[in-house]
Amino acid sequence: MMRKPLIAGNWKLNKTINESQQLSRQLLESLGTVSNREIVIAPVFTALNAVSEIIKSSSILLAAQNCYPATTGAFTGELSPLFLQDAGCQYVIIGHSERRQLLHETNAFINQKLIGVIQAGLKPILCIGETLQQREDGQMLEILGQQIKEGLVDLTTDQMATVVIAYEPIWAIGTGKTASSEQAQEAHAYIRSLLQEIFNSSVAEQTRILYGGSVKPDNIDTLMAQTDIDGALVGGASLKAEDFVRIVRFL
Ligand SMILES: O=C[C@H](O)COP(=O)(O)O
């Protein structure tokens, strides 16, 4: 089965509502009818609805950068998948390393979010990745294994059909240091082998695994040429229409 390439732009804490609308209009103009790749953009919460209005009849999909694993209730300051869906989202990024590090999110908490997202009919993009220290200490595979196993606990094979995984080595995020295509391919192949072990070969075969970490117009082609790389989660380069468009149009 062919995995449709997915290119996602994580705008992180950037762009006001006006700026988000402007960037969305530029992307709509260049990418609004692209159908051979899935395109996802993740603005800040406050801009979600305004961006949704712009891209809603196009092939560009909307993601939130986080959520809380509840539906409604006394959860001051949080947003649940239900509200993200109400704002126009189809995807939710879960467990980004910035949240794991700055907000101490655990694999167990991330797993609850993942289940909440799926139950609300949205699709999760689960981020995993090792630090430089962990890589240098030879712990990379162990860390990835833990993040995958604990992050995907209790998911059925049917639910796995909605899950996208993003491998983002922390040392490559925002640093300009991309993992080499070989390093990325090695991690992606390992993640796929874990999916086979935990679920089955069709889950392993169908699940899209994105690479993230300093993806730019000049390295996307080589990354996408790797067997187990099915797309990219792009930070910095997704803030400039020209760069993101080129990344989506990888060769
Ligand atoms: O979610 C995106 C990643 O954190 C990558 O960010 P970056 O492309 O700025 O390195």
Count of domains for the chain: 1
**Is 171 inside a domain boundary?**
yes
Supply the pTM of this predicted model.
0.97
- Tell me which residue has its CA closest to atom 3 in ligand 1: 235
**Residue 1 domain-assigned (yes or no):** no
Q: Verify whether ligand 1 is closer than 6 Å to residue 10 (CB atom).
A: yes
How do residues 65-78 score in pLDDT, each as one tens digit? 999 999 999 999 99
Structural domain containing residue 120: 6-248
Whether 215 lines ligand 1, by a CB cut-off of 6 Å, is yes
The two three-digit tokens of residue 60, written as one number: 């560009």
Q: What is the pLDDT of residues 147-190, one digit of tens each?
A: 999 999 999 999 999 999 999 999 998 888 888 999 999 999 99
Catalytic residue status for 53: no
In the Cβ-directed half-sphere of 40, how many Cα atoms lie within 13 Å? 29
Q: Which of 38, 98, 130, 168 is catalytic?
A: 168
Task: Answer whether 52's CB lies under 8 Å from 90's CB.
Answer: no
Mean pLDDT rounded to a whole number for the chain: 97
- The question of whether 96 is a catalytic residue gets the answer yes
d(CA 117, CA 94): 9
Residue 217 forms part of a structural domain = yes
**Domain containing residue 144: CATH number:** 3.20.20.70
